Amino acid sequence: MKKIFYGWYILAVGMIGAFLSAGSSQLFMSIMLKPLTAEFGWSRTETTGAITTGTILAGLLALPFGIMADRYGPRVLTTAGALISALMYFLLTKCSALWEFYLFFVTARIVSTNTLSSIVPRTAAVNWFRRFRGRAIGLLSMATPLGSSFLAFLAQLIMENHGWRSVFQTFAWVMVVFQAIPAGLILRRRPEDLGLKPDGVEQEVDPLQAAPKNVTEEEHWTLREALKTSSLWYITGASVLGLMVNAGIGFHLVAYYTDVGIAAYYAVGAMSVYALTGAFGNALWGFLSETISERLLAMYIMLLTALAIFYLQGISGTTDAFLFAVFFGLTSRGEGTLVNVLVANYYGRRSFGTINGFIYPFNMLGLGFGPLMASFAFDMSGSYRGVFYLFMGLSLIAALLLWLARKPKKS
C-alpha cells in the first residue's frame, strides 16, 4: 500500500486553520455586532471600526509575515498564531472598554489572517506541492468561506443559550486543541526537511490520471528580481481589480436584490448560495489549473465575471437571483486561487511568501474600495446601473492585464 504523502497532512492542518480563522471574519463578527452594542452602548460604527482597522493592518503587515514564512516556515508561525488568537479570544471575554475590544480583536484579526488563512498556509502549500499546487491552494481558499458560514451559525447557537462571551471562550479552546497542537506536532517548512520532494515521488505518475501540465525545472526569484518584471505588476493590477469588483458586487448584492423587488428572505438565501458556491469554486478552479494554464483560466474568469454582471442588471425574479448567485459564485471566487498559483509558478517557491506578502496590501485596497465605490455611486445617482457598468469594464481590464502577464524569464 502506497504511503500517504506527508504534504497532505500539512494541507489538512492548513485547511483547519483557514476554517477556524473565520472566527475573526466580517461575516462572523456581524453576528456579534448587536450583542456587543447592546451590552456596552457602543455605536455600530465604533464596533465595526475594529474590523476595518484589523483588516487594513493585516494587509499592511502581510509582507513581514511573508518574509518570516519563507525564512521560518509554518510550524512556528502557525502554532504561535493559533495560541495568540486563542489568547485574544479569551481576553475578549473579559473586556469592558472599547479600547480593550480594539486591542484584542485587531490583534486576533492581524495574526489569524496572516498565519492561519492567507500568507503562511499558502506559502506552505506552495512549498509542499508543485504538480498538485492548484488543488492545494484551491482547497485552502475553500476552507475560509466555509468556516465563515459554519462558525457564524455555531456562534449564533452558543450565543442564544449562553451569551456572546461563551462564543469567544469556546473558540479560544477550539483554536488551541484543533490548530495550535496539530500545527506544533505536524507542520514542517519544506519537504526537503524530511528527505522528500514536492508532491512526493514525482517520477511515479498514475497512467489512469489525466496528464498534468509539463512540470519543468522551477526558477526561483527574489522579491527584488520579481519587481523588475512587468508580469508581477500586471498580476497585481488584475488581482486588485478583480477583488474590487467581487467585493463591490458581493457587499451590495442583497441591497440590489431587494431594490428590484426580490423579497429579503430570498435575497439573503441567494447571498448564502453565492458564498457556498464561491467556496467550492475556489477548489474547482484550483483543480482545473493543474491541466489548463492558470493564466488563461484567470482571464476566462474575468470575462465570465463581466458577462455575469451584465446578466445581473436584467434579473427580475427569484429564479434569476439564485442563478446569478451560483454563476457569479463559481466564477468570481476562483480569481484569488489562480493568482496565487500564477505567482508560485512564475516566481518559484523560495520567496513566494515574500512576493505574495507584497501583493496582499494592494488586494486589501481593492476589497475596501469596491463596496465604497458602489455605495458612493448609488448615493449620487440612486441606482447601481452606472457602477455595474464600471465593474464590467474593470473586469475586462483585468482580463487584458492577465493576457499581458506572460511568464518572465531570468536573464
Same domain for 239 and 112? no
Same domain for 167 and 54? yes
pLDDT value for 332: 82
Same domain for 301 and 261? yes
Same domain for 366 and 253? yes
pLDDT value for 207: 42
Same domain for 186 and 252? no
Same domain for 188 and 228? no
The domain boundary, picked from 148, 173, 194, lies at 194
User: Is 1 inside a domain boundary?
Assistant: no
Same domain for 331 and 243? yes
Q: Count up the domains in the chain and report the number.
A: 2
Kindly report the CATH number assigned to the domain that includes residue 342: 1.20.1250.20
pLDDT value for 68: 96
What does the pLDDT look like over 261-302, one tens digit per residue? Answer: 998 888 878 888 888 898 889 999 999 999 999 999 999 999
Same domain for 265 and 351? yes
User: Is 96 inside a domain boundary?
Assistant: yes
- Sequence-distant (≥ 6) Cβ neighbours of residue 309 within 8 angstroms: 245, 249, 328, 388, 391, 392, 395
pLDDT value for 407: 94
Same domain for 182 and 91? yes
User: Is 337 inside a domain boundary?
Assistant: yes
- Provide the domain limits for residue 336: 223-404
User: Is 51 inside a domain boundary?
Assistant: yes
Same domain for 322 and 397? yes
pLDDT in tens, the chain (411 residues): 678 999 999 999 999 999 999 888 776 777 788 888 889 998 878 888 888 788 889 989 999 999 999 999 999 999 999 999 999 999 999 999 999 999 999 999 999 999 999 899 999 999 999 999 999 999 999 998 888 878 877 888 898 899 999 999 999 999 999 999 999 999 999 999 999 999 885 544 444 444 455 555 678 899 999 999 999 999 999 999 999 999 889 888 888 888 999 988 888 788 888 888 988 899 999 999 999 999 999 999 999 999 999 999 998 889 999 999 999 988 887 888 999 999 999 999 999 999 999 999 999 888 878 888 888 888 888 888 999 999 999 999 999 999 999 999 887
Same domain for 230 and 173? no
Alpha carbon distance 110, 214 (integer Å):
38
Q: What angle do CA 8, 127, 133 make, to 5 degrees?
A: 65
What does the pLDDT look like over 94-121, one tens digit per residue? Answer: 999 999 999 999 999 999 999 999 899 9
Same domain for 386 and 334? yes
pLDDT value for 388: 94
User: Is 305 inside a domain boundary?
Assistant: yes
User: Is 54 inside a domain boundary?
Assistant: yes
pTM of the model: 0.85
User: Is 293 inside a domain boundary?
Assistant: yes
User: Is 390 inside a domain boundary?
Assistant: yes
